[in-house]
Structure 1
Amino acid sequence: MKIIAVAQNYFPYNKTREEALLNAENPMIFMKPDSALLVNNKPFFIPNELGVIEYETEIVVRICRLGKTIPERFAHRYYDALTVGIDFTARELLGKFRAEGRPWELCKGFDGSAVLGEWVDKKSLTDLENIDFKLDINGRTVQSGSTANMIHTTDKLVSYVSRFFTLKTGDLIYTGCPVEGWGRVNIDDHLEGYLNDTKVLEFNCK
């Protein structure tokens, strides 16, 4: 099982980030190991040795069949469910690695850094390109977004990634987080994620 993640995939990144997209034509992809996966409402234990840990709320899709070099027009056939996930990031370490031109795995792929909610069947969603999602912490909404604001659609992501990796049943794609709203998590925070109006994610930080 592969965890594939996408960076800088929401407008208006080019206007608000210190680092503008170098090539908006193609998605920016990175990977997380399977040990990063956190499921079943298990608590997230904050790794203090990594510095400030921040949440990034994302739509996650589940690959449902084997595929390689998938044309974008057929990509919708290769995923069957969506949910809300959290891409936890060691923010200070990420800044250091970017400045040094180093890979991101250590600040993006640590244990528990890929939180996953309960799956929602794709067939129950009327418009995959206009799904609202949000994250509440301690009862307050801290981040929200819509797939309508993606730079690269889910179908394009599936097609693009399949050019480099054979997609297999059970692989996950974290499709990127909205530009605004990410922030630090602290011990005893209670996180709840919503896909449209349905709560699909709930866990505590310890």
Structure 2
Amino acid sequence: MMEYVFEPSQIPTVAVNGTSKRFPVRRIFCVGRNYAEHTREMGGDPDREPPFFFTKPADAVVDSGTEIPFPQATSDLHHEMELVVAIGKGGANISQEMASKHIFGFGAGIDLTRRDLQQIAKDKRRPWDSGKAFDQSAPCAALTKASEITNITSSRIWLTVNGETRQSATISDLIWSVDEVIAFLSVEFALRPGDLIYTGTPAGVGAIKSGDKIEGYVEGLTPISFTLK
């Protein structure tokens, strides 16, 4: 029997619609600047930039309905609404044509960003970890199995803060489609069951503060919501 020097942490998980079982999270990958208007909003060129990826720790995931403390070390916390893809079958160098076979399901998620720390990292040409990979920075609603969804591409995606719409687009506005993202990512990393992919955020990202209620939606999926303490 394996012995540890201290009790290991519990495996992070996400709820799954229609079942009491949970989806164990292995890694969280995020796609940067994958909606044209958001790319322009952040000073990029959507016609030239290939997809790029950053990561969050698996235990950054947070269930919908949670109260999240305003994170430390920042005065500029931003919301980024995203479609989340849950990988159920691993593989490397996956073709676009086979990508959908590797998807377990989809969810509505939010990439919380300490924008001030991210900007400092950008200015100094350093990694984004301090701005992106912090505690409770990846809220995710219950996953819906891919077999229960007919056409996620046509779904609307939007986010509200205290009832006011901040972000709104459709999944078809993605620069790189879900299948293309999986194909690109699987060249750089061997994907495994339990990996989550946050596929990018539409334009309209902005600051949130303590007391705000954030609600995010992807048409046909369970909404994501949380309140900042």
TM-score in terms of structure 2 length: 0.83
AA of the residue aligned to 2:148: S
Deviation at residue 139 of structure 1 after TM alignment = 1.8
Residue 70 of structure 2 is matched in structure 1 by 46
| Counterpart among 106, 111, 124 of residue 148 in structure 2 | 124
Deviation at residue 194 of structure 1 after TM alignment = 1.6
Distance 1:132 1:175, change over 3 A: same
- Alpha-carbon RMSD: 1.8
Moved over 6 A (4+): none
Q: Is the 8 A contact 1:54 1:88 kept in 2?
A: yes
Structure with higher Rg: it is 2
2:77 is aligned with 1:91? no
Structure 1 stretches of 5 or more lacking a match?
Answer: none
Among all aligned residue pairs of Structure 1 and Structure 2, give the percentage whose two residues are the same amino acid. Answer: 29
Tell me, in whole angstroms, the C-alpha distance in 1 between the residues paired with 2:190 and 2:39.
30
How do 1:54-93 and structure 2 match up within 5 A?
54-93=78-117
Tell me, in whole angstroms, the C-alpha distance in 2 between the residues paired with 1:118 and 1:126.
18
Distance 1:15 1:185, change over 3 A: closer
Tell me, in whole angstroms, the C-alpha distance in 1 between the residues paired with 2:41 and 2:162.
27
Q: Secondary structure of 1:151's match?
A: coil
Deviation at residue 204 of structure 1 after TM alignment = 1.0
Q: Is the 8 A contact 1:51 1:93 kept in 2?
A: no
Tell me, in whole angstroms, the C-alpha distance in 1 between the residues paired with 2:91 and 2:160.
35
Q: Is the 8 A contact 1:13 1:20 kept in 2?
A: no
Deviation at residue 18 of structure 1 after TM alignment = 2.2
Residue 18 of structure 2 is matched in structure 1 by none
| Counterpart among 157, 166, 179 of residue 155 in structure 1 | 179
Deviates more, 1:121-130 or 1:9-18: 9-18
Q: Secondary structure of 1:43's match?
A: strand
